[in-house]
């Protein structure tokens, strides 16, 4: 049995595929297949052929020397060929590196220092021009300032009374503009204060009926803080306050007649729902606005839509 057949039979007996052998040996699948087919012409050389066969044999549990015995009986001259080829390749690479190191530098690099000198010279020339321009500009400014100062001193000496009278007399146009701006600012501030102090307004959207005892209000301009006040008169009242959007209850309890009112902060709610078990004894306010029950049912619900 030839080498390839032995290896294939051993691999199949272990239930391994060529991919399994490739993963374990790191030998490419095409080389493994060539070994099984005894097609050694596709191998990189005799040295690698023998090394791959040994690795393959060990992986499938065979003795590498026994598998290679037919190969060992062949002439060995070819085995030295890959080594000589490797030596020749190394020699060629070494000669190539020596030639590369001995190669003279490229001609275009010689122009770099010359170009740098030109750029530096231009920069120095530009700096000199800027300095001369700044110096000349400063001299002209000083001359103009001295002339203006001398003229001003002469005017002060010749007509001090005129200057003093001019400084003391107010400009009528400037005074009028200043007063107008002050009035505009006062009106704007007053308008802002009126907007900030807008009172909340309460309106009835829908009145409850005997068959549907739910009354809906809308509180406009509620502001940032919204407080619901709960109280009871002429009887105890059971009350339940919740988020109108079904997000849970805020308060549940019974308020005794004449007891201190209960205040609930509902600033975070867009809609608040108040349910009472004794409407005639229940007193409700939201931000100081009274909420009333329009029908005689004991059990009623009031819903308030809060608009900031």
SS3 assignment for 20-49: HHHHHHCCCHHHHHHHHCCCHHHCCCHHHH
| All structural domains of the chain with their residue ranges | 3-81, 201-306
**Beta-carbon-side half-sphere exposure of residue 127 (alpha carbons within 13 Å):** 6
- Specify the pLDDT at position 192: 72
Gap between the Cα atoms of 68 and 1, Å rounded: 12
Residue with the larger pLDDT of the pair 81 and 62: 62
Architecture of domain 3-81: Orthogonal Bundle (1.10)
Q: How far apart are alpha carbons 2 and 67 in whole angstroms?
A: 9
pLDDT at 82: 45
Over range 199-205, report the average pLDDT.
91
- Name residues whose C-beta falls within 8 Å of residue 168's C-beta, 6 or more positions apart in sequence: none
pLDDT at 92: 58
Q: How many angstroms separate the CA atoms of 278 and 89, rounded?
A: 107
Tokens of 67: 């598998």
Per residue in 98-109, pLDDT tens? 455 555 545 445
For residue 196, the model assigns a pLDDT of 60
- Look at residue 17 in the predicted model and tell me its pLDDT: 95
Could you tell me how far CA 277 lies from the centroid of its own chain? 53
> What is residue 117's predicted lDDT score, i.e. its pLDDT?
86
Q: Mean per-residue pLDDT for 91-95?
A: 55
Task: Provide φ and ψ at 292, rounded to 5°.
Answer: -115, 155
In the three-class reduction of DSSP (H, G, I as helix; E, B as strand; rest coil), residue 175 is classed as helix
pLDDT of residue 155: 60
DSSP-derived secondary structure for 98-163: HHHHHSPPPGGGGHHHHHHHHHHHHHHHHHHHHHHHHHHHHHHHHHHHHHHHHHHHHHHHH-HHHH
Q: Read off the pLDDT of each residue in 221-243 and give the average, rounded to a whole number.
A: 92
What pLDDT is attached to residue 142? Answer: 66
Looking at per-residue pLDDT, the higher value among 121 and 140 belongs to 121
Note the pLDDT of residue 239. 95
Q: Give the model's confidence band at 188: pLDDT under 50 very low, under 70 low, under 90 confident, else very high.
A: confident
If one compares 176 and 86, the residue with the highest pLDDT of the two is 176
pLDDT, position 83: 42
- The mean pLDDT of the chain is 81
Strand 237-243's sheet: what is its strand order? Answer: 201-206, 214-220, 300-306, 271-276, 237-243, 249-255
Residue 154 has pLDDT above 80, yes or no: no
Asked if the model's pLDDT at residue 46 lies above 70, the reply is: yes
Contact by Cβ (8 Å): 232, 256: yes
Give the chain's radius of gyration (CA, Å): 52
Average of pLDDT values for 5-20?
A: 94
The pLDDT, as a whole number, for residue 96 is 56
Distance CA 48, CA 56 (A): 12
pLDDT tens track for 245-259: 876 888 999 999 999
| Residue 78 clears pLDDT 70, i.e. is over it | no
CATH (one of 3.40.50, 3.30.1370, 2.60.40, 1.10.3470) for 201-306: 2.60.40
Cα-based torsion angle of the residue sequence 63, 66, 69, 71 in order, rounded to the nearest 10 degrees? -30
């Amino acid at each position: 049995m030839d080498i390839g057949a032995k290896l294939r039979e051993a691999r199949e007996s272990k239930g391994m595929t060529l991919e399994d052998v490739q993963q374990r040996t790191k030998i490419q699948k095409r080389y493994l297949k060539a070994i099984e087919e005894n097609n050694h012409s596709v191998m990189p050389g005799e040295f690698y052929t023998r090394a791959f066969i040994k690795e393959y044999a060990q992986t499938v549990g065979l003795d590498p020397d026994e598998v290679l015995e037919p190969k060992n009986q062949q002439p060995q001259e070819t085995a030295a060929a890959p080594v000589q080829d490797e030596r020749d390749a190394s020699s060629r690479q070494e000669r190539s590196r020596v030639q590369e190191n001995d190669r003279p530098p490229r001609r275009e690099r010689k122009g770099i220092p010359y170009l740098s000198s030109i750029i530096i010279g231009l920069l120095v020339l530009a700096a000199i021009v800027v300095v001369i321009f700044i110096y000349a500009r400063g001299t002209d400014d000083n001359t103009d300032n001295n002339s203006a100062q001398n003229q001003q001193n002469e005017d002060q000496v010749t007509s001090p009374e005129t200057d003093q009278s001019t400084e003391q007399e107010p400009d009528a146009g400037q005074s009028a503009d200043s007063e107008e701006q002050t009035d505009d600012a006062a009106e704007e501030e007053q308008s802002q204060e009126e907007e900030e102090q807008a009172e909340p307004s309460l309106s009835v959207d829908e009145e409850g009926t005997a068959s549907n005892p739910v009354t809906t209000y809308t509180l406009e301009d509620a502001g940032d803080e919204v407080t619901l006040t709960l109280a009871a008169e002429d009887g105890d009242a059971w009350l339940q306050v919740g988020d109108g959007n079904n997000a849970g209850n805020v308060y549940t309890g019974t308020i005794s007649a004449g007891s201190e009112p209960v205040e609930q902060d509902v600033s975070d709610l867009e809609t608040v729902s108040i349910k009472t078990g004794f409407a005639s004894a229940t007193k409700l306010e939201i931000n100081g606005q009274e909420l009333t029950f329009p029908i005689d049912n004991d059990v009623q619900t009031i819903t308030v839509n809060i608009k900031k």
